[in-house]
């Protein structure tokens, strides 16, 4: 990974932080994205100290906000003209309905729209890097929770406090990650940019600790009992970002460094196209 540049969201905690550390140790230049300035700077210092690398930097913004995502992309492009790997990892789940600043259900805004918008805004630079270096990679962190969204995504109720909340909203957002990855991979054929999605496993991180009630309690108990360490959860993410074994492979769903079949509905090209068109319409980016 020496000489390569990686941008990773959600890297101040959990598998994102673990992946950033591994990639920095491999010699990559790593730029992390965080929301809280104090926490992000502390994590950056920790990563530098632990990895022994000074090739780390950070960008700040709330990835549930379209304006902040745009600002992050603008800031990145003002500093860099190369991007070898984009890792879309930031995400969350909410036990109760919350609206994003743009008026969409928060889980969908953070877990999918962030992926779509940031990727599209950086796509020209990824393509340019692929032309010059032979390949660029997009890695989208999804979840096996997407299997629960058997009926697909309801794009007509993303502002409905009754119809979109809790695990239902989370599973739909994770299905969106897979649908987006498959559609993106097809659109990028021949460019040298590959796109893959993955399930990191059930990981003991701060994920879900913001949730209230039974759902939040269940997450915390299960994390203590059966969850894997963040370092283990980051393995497939790092593999897809760095390994020569997966060069040229695109449009796949991965778990434990192996390709797996995602849910049946995730292969529905009509669902993929509808999601793409919806995302393009509300962000104004195609």
Residues with a catalytic annotation lie at 170
**Rounded distance between C-alpha atoms, residue 227 and residue 242, angstroms:** 25
| CA dist list (Å): 150 to 95, 174, 209, 265, 269 | 20, 12, 26, 7, 15
Q: Which long-range contacts (CB under 8 A, 24 or more apart) does 211-217 make?
A: 211/93, 211/94, 211/95, 212/95, 212/96, 213/95, 215/95, 215/166, 215/167, 216/95
**What stretches of the chain adopt beta strand conformation (E)?**
5-9, 29-34, 56-60, 85-88, 136-141, 193-199, 253-255, 258-260
Q: What are φ and ψ of residue 150, in 5° steps?
A: -65, -25
CB atoms within 10 A of CB 232: 16
Cα separations in angstroms, 28 against 136, 175, 230: 14, 30, 20
The dihedral over CA atoms of 106, 112, 115, 121, expressed in degrees to the nearest 10, equals -80
Strands (E), 143-214: 193-199
What distance in Å separates the CA atoms of residue 103 and residue 99, rounded to the nearest whole number? 5
């Amino acid at each position: 990974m020496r000489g390569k540049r990686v941008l990773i969201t959600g890297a101040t905690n959990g598998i994102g932080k673990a992946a950033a550390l591994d990639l920095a140790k491999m010699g990559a230049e790593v730029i992390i994205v965080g929301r809280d300035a104090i926490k992000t700077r502390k994590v950056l210092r920790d990563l530098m100290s632990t990895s022994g690398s000074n090739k780390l930097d950070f960008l700040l913004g709330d990835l549930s906000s379209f304006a902040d995502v745009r600002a992050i992309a603008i800031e990145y492009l003002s500093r860099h003209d190369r991007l070898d790997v984009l890792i879309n990892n930031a995400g969350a789940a909410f036990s109760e309905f919350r609206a994003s600043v743009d008026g969409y259900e928060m889980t969908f805004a953070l877990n999918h729209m962030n992926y779509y918008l940031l990727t599209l805004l950086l796509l020209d630079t990824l393509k340019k890097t692929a032309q010059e270096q032979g390949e660029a990679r997009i890695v989208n962190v999804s979840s096996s929770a997407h299997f629960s969204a058997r009926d697909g995504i309801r794009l007509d109720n993303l502002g409905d406090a009754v119809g979109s909340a809790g695990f239902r909203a989370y599973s739909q957002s994770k299905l969106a990650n897979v649908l987006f990855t498959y559609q993106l991979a097809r659109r990028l054929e021949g460019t040298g940019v590959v796109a893959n999605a993955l399930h990191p496993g059930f990981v003991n991180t701060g994920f879900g600790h913001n949730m209230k009630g039974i759902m939040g309690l269940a997450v915390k108990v299960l994390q203590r009992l059966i969850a894997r360490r963040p370092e283990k959860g980051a393995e497939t993410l790092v593999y897809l970002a760095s390994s020569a074994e997966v060069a040229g492979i695109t449009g796949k769903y991965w778990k434990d460094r192996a390709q797996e079949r995602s849910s049946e509905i995730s292969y529905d090209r009509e669902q993929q196209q509808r999601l793409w068109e919806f995302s393009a319409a509300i962000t104004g980016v195609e």
